[in-house]
Amino acid sequence: MYDLIIIGAGPAGITAAVYAARKRMNFLVISKDIGGQTAWSGEIENYTGYQFISGPDLTAKFEEHMRKYNVPLKEGEEAIDIKRIGDKVVVKTNKGVYETKTAIVASGKRSRELGVPGEQEFKNRGLTYCATCDGPLFPNKDVAVIGGGNSGLDAALQLINIAKKIYVINVTESLTGDPIMQEKVMASDKVTVLNKAQVTAVSGDKLVSGIKVKTLEGEKTLAVQGIFVEIGLIPNTEFAKVIEKNQRGEIKVNSHNETNLPGVFAAGDVTDIPEKQIIIAAGEGSKATLGVFRYLARLK
């Protein structure tokens, strides 16, 4: 019986784990990976203490900090159910069942898919959801970035130094990312932005060779060798069937990070907090563990 199980090892989960270790809790971290969305990020210029740091480098710092405390970690394990039975919380994963007094759900979000013909066939064959991970595989290639928000613009900025030509395909009337990012993207002669454009299909043979796009002028096929899908994220909450969520599938929490399930807390992008930022997720992780500590102190 653990005092606490933390589900997820992104900024929220790792920070929660550091606080739990410092409180000398008997706890466990369960996560399919380390870093979450931070590991996918390119240039990070708004994390306090670092004027500039890459996503992978910040992830390495997070992991280093966590492992300093010898945090018990089940990496490569994924939660598939969580419920309360009597006075304990039961977490079921793809590899086992664990019992705990409390839990923090910090499972983050995953990339939203396009849902068009050819997407499944060309995954990892030219179509990817992570410019940070896979951008270097496309030197001097023509590529398309799907999405005009911060994620899409971040991907485009990373690819400017790698690719030959970049099409930014944006479904809205204009780009929606931060103005400074828009300025940097638009300043490059490598970038062509297609607004009010929608992807209808991905084509190719063994690898991606083109993408069909519906625009105001009609449907056209762009010859590209790489496609980076950056159209938003879906909360990883399918396993949390008994926890209350909003219409977007995000877990509802109060100011103390408590969910509707006694003893179960949630933190980070998986929750309904209004802003999704690395620094906010980390802060929410610390709040969640402090909430758990107070909850455990009140137990008989």
Any idea which residues carry the catalytic annotation? 130, 133-134
What is the distance between the alpha carbons of residues 39 and 50, in angstroms, rounded to a whole number? 16
The two three-digit tokens of residue 133, written as one number = 């991970």
| Count of Cβ atoms closer than 10 Å to residue 212 Cβ | 17
The phi, psi pair for 45, rounded to 5°, reads -120, 10
**11-22 and 278-298 helices, crossing angle to 10°:** 40
Tally of CB atoms within 10 A around 221: 13
Beta-carbon-side half-sphere exposure of residue 94 (alpha carbons within 13 Å): 7
Please, which contacts does 256-259 make with residues 24 or more away whose CB atoms are closer than 8 Å? 256/287, 256/291, 257/104, 257/284, 257/287, 257/288, 257/291, 258/291, 259/105
Between CA 86 and CA 50 the distance in angstroms is 45
